[in-house]
Chains A and B, each alone.
Chain A
Amino acid sequence: MDQAMRPQMMGARVSRVEDPRLLSGQARYLDDVDVPGMLEVAFVRSPHAAAEIVAMRLDKARQHPGVFAVMTYDDCPVMLWDRAEYDIGQPCLAHGEVTYVGQAVVAIIAENRYVAEDAAELVEIEYRPRTPVLDMREAILERPRRVHAETSNVFFHEEYATEGFSEAFDRAPHRLSATFRTNRQTAVSLEARGTAAMIDAASGRLTVYASTQSPHRMREDISNLLDIPEQLVRVIVPEVGGGFGMKANCYPEDIVVAKAALAYRKPVKWVSDRTESLLSDVHGRDDIHDVEVAFADDGKIIAIRDHLMADGGAYPAYPFSGAVGETSLAARVLTGPYDIAHLATVIDCTYSNKVPLGAYRGVWGPIASFIQEGLVERVARYLSLDPAQVRRRNMIRPDQFPYRNAAGMPYDEGSYLASLEDALKLIDYDGFRRRQQELRTQGRYLGLGISAFVEPTAMASSEAGSVGYESCTIRIEPSGRVTAALGLGPTGQGHETTMAQILADQLGVRFEDIVVLHGDTDSAPYGGGTGGSRSGPIGGGAALVAGRQMRQRLIKYAAHLLEAGEDDIELGHGEAWVAGVPDRSISIRTIAQTAYTDVKKIPPGLPIGLELTERYLPKRPVSFSNGTHIAEVEVDIQTGIVRVTRYVVVNDCGRLINPTIVEGQIHGGVAQGIGATLFEALHYDRDGQLTTTSLMDYLLPESTDVPRMVIKHIETPSSGEGGIKGMGEGSLIASPAAVANAISDALAPFGAMVDTLPVTPAMIRAMVS
């Protein structure tokens, strides 16, 4: 067996090559991009949720010392969604009206950000306020008015039912109903958004530095929206300080900055501050689901009916409406890992006078898991059954594969029941129940929440766009060292490491001899970027396919140069040799030199050089990971404070590329899930003012809020390349349900059941009083 059959790097806990630059302060993020003469932008943003713009006076701002230019819609008359997927497109700068607090109205371009903010205060805008549309249920009824006069508030409506739903539902022995709600949240990447644009004098091209997850998509958008030929736009993504789906969009500010650089022929930079970020990054979640469940005496769930609603904000975010994602995906995976035969869903996505809704890690997932696991919990409590037992009764069985759920989604084989059993063991379920009883007698309320989940990953279409494949270019340089490039847009996931691991095994070169490029449209092959948990399975798949191609080429070279059969060639550690005769070897370096400089020795039929690009399009439209989370909490009923005390995860994302990196992803997602369940909410007041515009109001989990987690991996390979499944979102999909169920469990003596996230101290106090 040669090295590729015995992978050494794939699956290994390799330390990341990205780290030294990040640890030493040498990494360059967007705001670290500085060129001589760079101007900075501050936006004047709408203070009203809904208003007509009556007049603007810009003279004072224009005349302010240090100001270079002041832009309005007239200077940048660009609409996002010009391509009419929806009836409404968002102007990059407000045009005649404002439709949410925080909408960019005027751009000030000045010597530095301090001065730009001074001038922003000098802009006078006269508004005629309108009644804001703020309530989802009202908005569906077109009350108090339409957000956009020309079109209905409901911008997406879809209905679905399995055949025979009504009969099955009506005949079921028991029915329960509940309304589930998640508040608005947002990604809050620690590095906020930003864009810098400049014309490259040498080539005359527009260079845009963008803190984005989708470099090629950004280039396409800038090219289309500003009508610049695509070859004249170069997008460079510097280090990105987190994205979580929020940085997959093309935002109005990106376009305005690019436009300013073009119009004024100056380098221009905008970096969002935290208030702007909370006011203008896409928001996520904001779902209301009216749900009914029908079930049998033994806890077997027969049917689920759900009216899914999501508040899409003032415009569909470009190019991915989070509201449509939240609902239409949730509707397809609402049954989770359970075999539930019948499903009926009605979806309504509405406009409102709030920030556009986009993607935040696990789009659809937290609400769908919250519902699916919340229903199981309710069924168990109603029938006085053990919640673990009800899960077992409903879980998809291994003998049911190939399996499609009630919405028609084809699941991958996984470890549905096994992950549940393992997680119960890890948390010592029976021991916990005893401890819980004991402590209750002392007035302490512990609870345990189970969340078994499925995670559809690597979907053909996600917030990262509708590019269903990924590309990998490999160039073995004349020295035998390897330069690879992919169309990914990592924001901390470590692709330079994981992709190099895959390639090292395939090419038989040392891991250290590979560099992985990404994020520069000049060097990276066209690709879909990072989002929707696609980079592992699809990006990794592309690396595998390209690596294998290159490997074949290296073998042909070696066989030719060593005068041996191709089947006898082995590769590893930068060498190729004849199996069993290690002395008959040739270095990859020599092969590379031959390929580039000694071209007469190239084996017949092979091209000059060692360079190729391969694309990988998975055969299946989606790849399902699965697992089980269990959270233990203690609820202080006297204060309403919840502490998560223990946490276990059993995760199955197929073949692992780097277990340590997978664990890091899980830890981070669980922390975000704790935030989603206990802390994070964006609040609008009655006038449509966002009242949570700082990190003193929008609370993120801190090191003292997140418990130590115990993780166990199960590897059920997918049928795709390398057996890899995606896993970037599962931890945030599963964890809110786990923590919420744990709270419900803790408060079972009070008959309480959590139905809204996050759960605040005030809500806990109300549940126990």
Chain B
Amino acid sequence: MKPAAFEYIQAASVEEAIQALADHPQAKILAGGQSLVPLMNFRLNRPGMLVDVNNIDDLATIAVKDAGLAIGSLVRHQRLVEDALIGDRLPILAQAASHIGHWAIRNRGTIGGSLAHADPAAELVALMIALNGTLVVRSHRGVRRLTADEFFLGYFTTALEPTEIIVQCEIPAPTGRMGFSEVVRRPGDFALAGAIVAQSGAAGWVTWFGLGSRPERFSVSHWGQDDGERHAMLGELATRMMLAEDEEYKRDIAVNAAMRAYRQIKEGK
């Protein structure tokens, strides 16, 4: 399990990084390496060049933007968990990030890497879709802004061009109250199924992740009067997800995860 040979450059700035990507069609960004390097070790991925962005401090910023936050792509998961501004403005992000892998993984893995990797069970992908965040991506051709819905195309696929780098994720503050719940076999695993829900007034939405080819968000017109109604409503919504045969059993689990996420809101957690 050793990676194939590659050329390596350390980019000191975003400009250097995008230049390298423009000059080398074989190049790939190396951020936290927590997804890319395992794939390279398995030789399932063999970039001819790695453009290491870990030294670009400009990408590691967290700032208030409008009602939400603008988070640099190099911000690491553990910082999402611990950062005071996030805890204050977007606690759901800290909560989601706390479920990613283990401490050592969170110390390296980055939000940009997680979004570019687009694992359908990734908490941060789910959150971006749930809150309909915007990804700011750059290449030598310029800047593009893509909504999460435009960006995530499916199973490990995104609208990112090989020459593009994610520089920032803009996450609007949620309008309602939110809840998060995921079902894992072992703490730290990718979720079998998870749900992020929001409620404002009677309505809201639910985003399911960990099943299907990417997280999906569904509007909820009415959260229902009681658990029974709510369960039936969510069950109905869940039938709209396209699932592979061997994932079928997860549909009910997803519904139950959404019930739990909703209960969090009600319990004021």
Contact = CB atoms under 8 A, between A and B. Distances in A.
| A–B in direct contact per CB < 8 Å | yes
B111 interface: no
Nearest to A272: B1
B266 interface: no
A678 B185 contact: yes
Interface in A680-718: 694, 699, 701-702, 704-705
B256 A118 contact: no
Given A114-B2, A118-B4, A118-B5, A699 B192 contact: no
A766 interface: yes
B42 A275 contact: yes
Contacts of A274: 1
B5 A765 contact: no
Given A121-B43, A275-B1, A694-B42, A639 B188 contact: no
Contacts of A275: 1, 42
Interface in A729-769: 761-762, 765-766, 769
Interface string B36-50: 000000110000000
Residue among B1, B183, B256 with most chain A CB within 10 A = B1
Given A118-B4, A701-B186, A639 B253 contact: yes
Contact of A761 (B42, B188, B253): B253
A338 interface: no
Interface string B236-253: 000000000000010011
A699 B252 contact: no
B249 A762 contact: yes
Contacts of A705: 186-187
A766 B2 CA distance: 41
Given A640-B253, A761-B253, A766-B249, A679 B1 contact: no
B255 to A, nearest CB: 9
B263 to A, nearest CB: 11
A572 B184 CA distance: 57
A746 to B, nearest CB: 17
B234 interface: no
A277 to B, nearest CB: 10
A117 interface: yes
A761 B186 contact: no
Interface in A614-651: 638-641
Interface in A89-142: 113-114, 117-118, 121
Contacts of B259: 638
B257 A639 contact: yes
B2 A704 contact: no
B249 A704 contact: no
Contacts of A114: 2-3, 5
A769 B252 contact: yes
Contact of B185 (A113, A641, A765): A641
Interface string B173-196: 000000000011111110010000
Contacts of B2: 113-114, 117
Given A638-B256, A640-B253, A694-B42, A761 B1 contact: no
Contacts of B187: 702, 704-705
A118 B1 CA distance: 11
Contacts of B3: 114
Given A113-B2, A118-B4, A638 B185 contact: no
Interface in B54-104: none
A98 B187 CA distance: 39
Contacts of B186: 679, 699, 701-702, 704-705
A598 interface: no
Contacts of A766: 249
Interface string A324-359: 000000000000000000000000000000000000
Contacts of A678: 185
A273 interface: yes
Nearest to B46: A121
Nearest to A120: B43
Interface in A408-441: none
A95 to B, nearest CB: 27
A117 B42 CA distance: 11
A117 B41 CA distance: 11
Contacts of B253: 638-640, 761, 765
A546 B131 CA distance: 73
Interface in B126-165: none
Contacts of B4: 118, 121
A113 B253 CA distance: 44
Contacts of B189: 699
Interface in B213-266: 249, 252-253, 256-257, 259
A658 to B, nearest CB: 31
Contacts of A121: 4, 43
Nearest to B252: A765
Nearest to B192: A761
Contacts of A639: 183, 192, 253, 256-257
A298 to B, nearest CB: 40
A701 B249 CA distance: 23
Given A118-B5, A701-B186, A765-B249, 17 more contacts: A117-B2, A117-B43, A118-B4, A273-B1, A275-B1, A275-B42, A638-B252, A638-B256, A639-B192, A639-B253, A640-B249, A641-B184, A699-B189, A702-B187, A761-B192, A765-B252, A765-B253
24 contacts: A113-B2, A114-B5, A118-B4, A638-B252, A639-B183, A639-B192, A639-B253, A639-B257, A640-B249, A641-B183, A641-B184, A641-B185, A678-B185, A694-B42, A699-B186, A704-B187, A704-B188, A705-B186, A761-B192, A761-B249, A761-B253, A762-B249, A765-B249, A765-B253
Closest 4 interchain pairs by CB? A638-B256, A273-B1, A762-B249, A639-B183
